[in-house]
Amino acid sequence: MDTIKYLLPEASIPTSWYNLQADFPQPMAPVLHPASGAPITPDDLAPLFAQELIAQEVSTERWIPIPEEVRDLLAQWRPSPLFRARRLEKLLDTPARIYYKYEGVSPAGSHKPNTAIPQAFYNYKEGIRRISTETGAGQWGSSMAMACAAFGMECLVYMVKVSFQQKPYRKALMEAYGARCVASPSAETEAGRAILGTIPR
């Protein structure tokens, strides 16, 4: 039987992230500040992100070391399985080999903990103990709730109201990790109150 899935040992978890910016033929266009239209500076990002995350955002280093604490948590589900799509290759009648990674093996059920874990870690290292975030269908909120739980941080998630109503188990998963999940728009924020005030009763 031809091999369909490839499973790597935990020892194969990378020790560094690869940074695409190191190999671009020219630098990416800068992100523009929504108010001024000028390129965003590290000072603009400081109220929102941990300093290490800002440094990585602007880095052109090819390899960025992954902290051991992050690698230990990622080992709960990584390396994730690599599959060869042999039936698709046959259907397409292609000589190409087609592979895909399955990320549904993470505790949150998606690839999103791969970045939520380091984001929570870097914030924790800088003394931040509470993270507030948004989520649409709930995957990001679940991932950040899980990441915050791993470091003993408080987590507040604003979830799109229709998803909040349609996906109660996502809310339950966030709450299982200790997060508070709020349907958005809500009366808890100025923007939410403004939106709710315009909705006909």
Per-residue pLDDT tens digits of the chain, which is 201 residues long: 788 999 999 899 999 999 999 999 998 898 999 999 999 999 999 999 999 999 999 899 999 999 999 999 999 999 999 999 999 999 999 999 999 999 999 999 999 999 999 999 999 999 999 999 999 999 999 999 999 999 999 999 999 999 999 999 999 999 999 999 999 999 999 989 999 888 765
**For residue 38, what pLDDT is reported?**
95
**For residue 40, what pLDDT is reported?**
92
CA 154 – CA 146 distance, rounded (Å): 11
- Domain covering 113-185 in this structure, CATH number: 3.40.50.1100
Phi, psi of 196 (to 5 degrees): -60, -30
Tokens describing residue 93: 């009648």
Phi, psi of 128 (to 5 degrees): -80, 130
Give the DSSP H or E segment for 68: helix 68-74
**For residue 201, what pLDDT is reported?**
59
CA 179 – CA 141 distance, rounded (Å): 9
**For residue 93, what pLDDT is reported?**
98
User: For the whole model, what pTM was predicted?
Assistant: 0.89
CA 181 – CA 175 distance, rounded (Å): 7
The domain segmentation of the chain, as residue ranges, is 113-185
Q: With contact defined as beta carbons under 8 Å apart, do 157 and 174 qualify?
A: yes
Give the DSSP H or E segment for 134: strand 130-135
